[in-house]
Structures are given as C-alpha cells and as structure tokens.
Amino acid sequence: MELRDAIYTKYCSKKESDRRWAVGKMYEAYSRPLMAYLKYKFMGLSLAVLEEVLQDAFLRLITTTSAPSSADTMQAWIYKVVTNIVIDDIRSSNTDAELSLDELGESEKSSKEFWASGEDQGRVAERCVDEKLGVFSKRHPERAASIMLQMDGLGIREIAEIYGRTEAAMKQFIYESKKSLKPLLFDCLELIAE
C-alpha cells in the first residue's frame, strides 16, 4: 500500500491513534509547499512563528469534522483546510505579517551592471536573475510563490487549493504571473541566449 493510501485510510479510521498517526505523516509529507507559500505571503513573520502556526493548523486536522473524499484528493484537501486555518489565525492576530522583502533589497540594475567582476556569463545571468526575483517577490509575493510552486513540481490542483481558486483560474493566474515576470528578466535571459 502506498504511503498516501495508508495515510488516507488511517485518517478516515474511527480510531483516534490512527488519525494522529495520519496527521503526523501528513505534516511530514505535505507541509513544505505550504510553508513556502506562507513565507512568501507573510514575509514579515519569522520562520519559527510560521512553523508554529502551521503545526497548530495541522494539529487541528485531528478534530476537524470534514475529510477528503479520496486518497487522490487528500493532498489538495489538506492544502485547502490548513491554508484557511493559518490565514485566519494570522489575520485575527493583527500582526503586521504582510511586510515587504525590504531586507532583501530592491534594485533596478540593468544586466550590464552585473558584469563588473569579469565572471563567466552563466554566473552573471544567475546573479541578474537573483536580483530580479528579489524585486518581483517583493512586488508580487503571491505571483512569485505560484511560479515557484509550479516550477517545483506541485500540481495545479494542489496549488489552486492553497490559493482558494479553481484549477482554470489558477492556470490563468500562473500564466499571467509568468507574463509579468518575463519583462523583468528580459536582460538576464538574454545573457544565456547569447
């Protein structure tokens, strides 16, 4: 039996110890993309605080009354339920969590400015993209997170549940996000095209 199926079966079991085991495995297997999304969205909160809030939300899965309809939809269900709990918790605490990425700095350097130290072209392109991704993530944290999660291999259905959108709307959102990222990276990407 696949781990995913085992988690689903135990989560739907009436035995509380089975449900606890399942929630432990859910956290271990599925919490990272959520953590990444939350860190982009609430850049003003430290990882330690986000980890606590996220763990608290996962703990509440032990007693929640709803359940995923199948093992196939379980991951998407977890993302939907946990994201809702976390965002409610953070917003109701009135913390100034949605701060910008000021500590990462914002720059409007052109690609030419990355040539200073005579590095090879690949490295220059990397530094250029790093800089621009920092700017993009500061301006559009949700858009940046959606591209990052999709490039990281997470399915559209799962990303859509995190964002509380339909799959079609999510596809459109990611496409639009990439479209808005492209002009920012134009100079950098020219470096690897040469």
Partner 1 sequence: MTNKINNQDDQYPALFSAAEEDLIRSRFAAFNERIGLEPETPTYAVNAFQKKLDVAEKGSSSPRSFGLRSLILAVLSSLSIGILITRVALMPSLEAARSSSPMIEMKGEQASYQLLKLKVDDPNRVGRHAAVAAVSAGLAIRTEESSSEFKLAIRGLSSLSADHSQLKQILGLNSSAQGDIYVVLSKP
Q: What is the DSSP string of 137-169?
A: HHH-HHHHHHHHHHHTT--HHHHHHHHT--HHH
Q: CB-based contacts of 132: which residues, under 8 Å, 6+ apart?
A: 184, 185, 188
Is 47 a residue that touches partner 1 (CB under 8 A)? yes
Of residues 9, 32, 121, 142, which one binds partner 1 by CB under 8 A? Answer: 32
CA distances from 186 to 11, 21, 148, 178 (A): 47, 48, 18, 12
For the CB of residue 139, give the shortest distance to partner 1 in the complex, in Å: 14
**Token reading at 76:** 């998407």
Is 182 a residue that touches partner 1 (CB under 8 A)? yes
Our CB check for partner 1 shows the closer of 112 and 179 to be 179
Calpha distance 102→96 (Å, rounded): 14
**Token reading at 33:** 């993309």
Q: Which stretch binds partner 1 (CB under 8 A): 4-12, 46-54, 74-82, 107-115?
A: 46-54
- Decide: 180 and 143 in contact? Cβ < 8 Å: yes
Calpha distance 8→132 (Å, rounded): 41
Of residues 4, 87, 104, 165, which one binds partner 1 by CB under 8 A? Answer: 104
User: From residue 56 to residue 85, what is the string marking binding to partner 1 with x (rule CB under 8 A)?
Assistant: x-xxx-xx----------------------
Calpha distance 60→125 (Å, rounded): 44
For the CB of residue 43, give the shortest distance to partner 1 in the complex, in Å: 8
User: From residue 130 to residue 169, what is the string marking binding to partner 1 with x (rule CB under 8 A)?
Assistant: x--xx--x---------xx-xxxx-xx-------------
Residues that bind partner 1 (CB under 8 A): 16-17, 20, 23-24, 27-29, 31-32, 35-36, 39, 43-44, 46-49, 51-53, 55-56, 58-60, 62-63, 89-90, 92-93, 95, 99, 101-104, 125-126, 129-130, 133-134, 137, 147-148, 150-153, 155-156, 171-172, 174-175, 178-179, 181-182, 185, 189, 192
